[in-house]
Amino acid sequence: MRGTTEEATLEESENEFAANCGAVRASIWYSVPAGPGRRIAIRAAAAGDLDAVIDVFRPVRSQLEAVTCETTDQSGDAALTFGADEGQRYLIRVGRRPNSVDGEFRLDVFSPRPPARPPGKPLPRGGVSRSVDRLENTDDAFATRMRAGVSYRINLAPARGRCVGLRLFGPGTKSFGGGALRSLRCGGYLLFTPGPGGGGRHSLLVESNDRSRGAQRYRLTVAPAGGDDTLPGRRLGSRARGGLNGRRVDVVDLYRFDVLRRSDVRLRLRSAADFEVILLGQGGRRLASGGSVASRQLRAGRYFVAVRASGGDSGGYRLKKVVRTITSTRATVNGARRAQVQPGSTVSVGARVSAGSSGPVRIDVERLDPLFGWQFVRRYNTRAVSGSASVSFTPSAEGRYRVSAVFRGTRSAAPSSSRRFARLLVADPLRP
């Protein structure tokens, strides 16, 4: 039907029962009886510069009860739907907003397609690409067979900028009004394994978003999980390569690796796509994550790494793992924490690195000035072999000296520095 707000008027009492979409300055009213369908859909298109509010009311004795409302967008369009009671009469108001000019409009009122019923159409092996909307086709249902004890990958990938929901129902479902086994509010990926006696034909209900206008496109795919999708996962060495497709079921690659002793673990992910690397503990706890780097100090044990596609992206990736044993370093003088020698003596200053680590070591020697504190004397750059490093040092004068050591790290051992100084006293024996 077509109409115009030209010469339209407004009753004084109208804005007293207005819905929540704002006041109007002129209005046109329509009456619609509800048929046997459960919902009524309204589509409005305003011409010219008309900005309109579409309100729906239900008469209750002498009062009007607000049901829903919508304003026209920048294109002059509005769309809304609402649940209707059979035999109930509803009133639709097209109102001109206070700061708008008058103009013509088109109003379509219709019954949308009936809601989907279980079990749904058979889901093709390669998945489906469809669309739903909040007016005519609010949901789609599909059926797929699953076996108890077998894990399945389920991925619902809405078009970019859209938000489509999914609910999974078990065998024998008679109505989609009951509880679902799993659900996704805005698309996504999940792994599902039917339990004992849970095998059979499952139903997947794809549902539109009431707040999104226009077609809401999506792709739905279901497939059995492989060894790189769930336990045990691929064994991860120092490097790995792979590929993911966020619009199919290959959304996640899972790896496993072992840490033999307390270590600093760093994971670096390189990909042109929007992928994420996730570090997980044996119990599934997320320990670290990032778009390109994830790092954490780990105790001995088994750990997992998941590379996951985000936002429907697809492409290849390279994953690099660096595990460096956590070390501790201790500075020494003549192999001990403290030593005392006579002037002119030569001592051995050095470092002890835990776990028998070999690698570059830096040793600094300082002397105490009674007035101005510790002063730098000498730096040695040497190398630890099997956790031990030492150099010869001859103090130039009597006094108190201290020694610090830094292990600079290698590809397999993390750097560390001595927390305490080794102390050296150079002095003649005390005389009376």
| Average pLDDT of the chain to the nearest whole number | 93
- Average of pLDDT values for 323-344? 96
Q: How many CB atoms lie within 10 A of CB 367?
A: 19
13 versus 52: the higher-pLDDT residue is 52
Neighbouring CB atoms inside 10 A of 198's CB total 16
d(CA 257, CA 303): 6
- The pLDDT confidence band at residue 88, using thresholds 50, 70 and 90, is very high
What pLDDT, on a 0 to 100 scale, did the predictor assign at position 212? Answer: 80
Give 257-288 as a DSSP string: EEESSSEEEEEEEE-SS-EEEEEE-TTS-EEE
Do 307 and 321 touch, CB atoms closer than 8 A? no
Query: Tell me: the pLDDT tens digits for 284-306?
Result: 999 999 999 999 999 999 999 99
Alpha-carbon Rg for the chain in angstroms: 37
Residue 50 to residue 102: CA distance in whole angstroms = 6
Whether the CB-CB separation of 248 and 221 falls below 8 Å is answered with yes
Strands (E), 84-127: 89-96, 104-110, 121-122
The pair of structure tokens assigned to 390 is 């030492």
Residue type, 203: S
For residue 176, give Cα distances in angstroms to 119, 139, 171, 172, 186.
Answer: 9, 11, 12, 11, 18
pLDDT digits (tens, 9 = 90+) for 140-189: 999 999 999 999 999 999 998 899 999 999 999 999 988 899 999 999 99
Q: What is the mean pLDDT of residues 269-298?
A: 96
The enclosing H or E element of 399 equals strand 399-407
Rounded distance between C-alpha atoms, residue 53 and residue 107, angstroms: 12
Both tokens of 106, joined, read: 């088109």
Does 330 have pLDDT greater than 60?
A: yes
Pick from 162, 168, 195, 130: nearest CA to 311: 162
Domains along the chain with CATH numbers: 2-110 (2.60.120.380), 121-224 (2.60.120.380), 234-325 (2.60.120.380), 329-426 (2.60.40.1940)
d(CA 204, CA 358): 58
- What are the tens digits of pLDDT across the range 107-126? 999 988 888 999 999 999 99
- How far apart, in whole angstroms, are the C-alpha atoms of residue 91 and residue 11? 15
pLDDT of residue 111: 87
The reported pLDDT for the residue numbered 344 is 93
Q: Which residues contact 102 (CB under 8 A, 6 or more apart)?
A: 4, 5, 6, 8, 26, 50, 96
Distances (CA, A) of 63 to 10, 18, 22, 55, 91: 17, 12, 19, 15, 12
pLDDT tens digits, residue range 380-426?
999 999 999 999 999 999 999 999 999 999 999 999 999 999 999 99
The pLDDT, as a whole number, for residue 19 is: 60
Share of the chain above pLDDT 90, in %: 84
For position 177, what pLDDT does the model report?
Answer: 87
Q: What is the DSSP letter of 62?
A: T
Look at the pTM and tell me if it is higher than 0.85: no
* Mean pLDDT score, 320-336: 96
Q: What pLDDT is attached to residue 95?
A: 94
pLDDT at residue number 18: 59
Report helix, strand or coil for 354. Answer: helix
Query: What mean pLDDT comes out for the span 59-66?
Result: 89
Inform me whether the pLDDT recorded for 62 exceeds 90.
no
**Which single residue is written with the structure tokens 């499952």?**
202
Give pLDDT, residue 15: 65
Quick one: average pLDDT of 266-283? Answer: 96
Q: Hey, which residues does 106 pair with through a beta bridge? A: 2, 45
At 184-195, the pLDDT tens digits run 999 999 999 999
Q: What is the DSSP letter of 163?
A: -
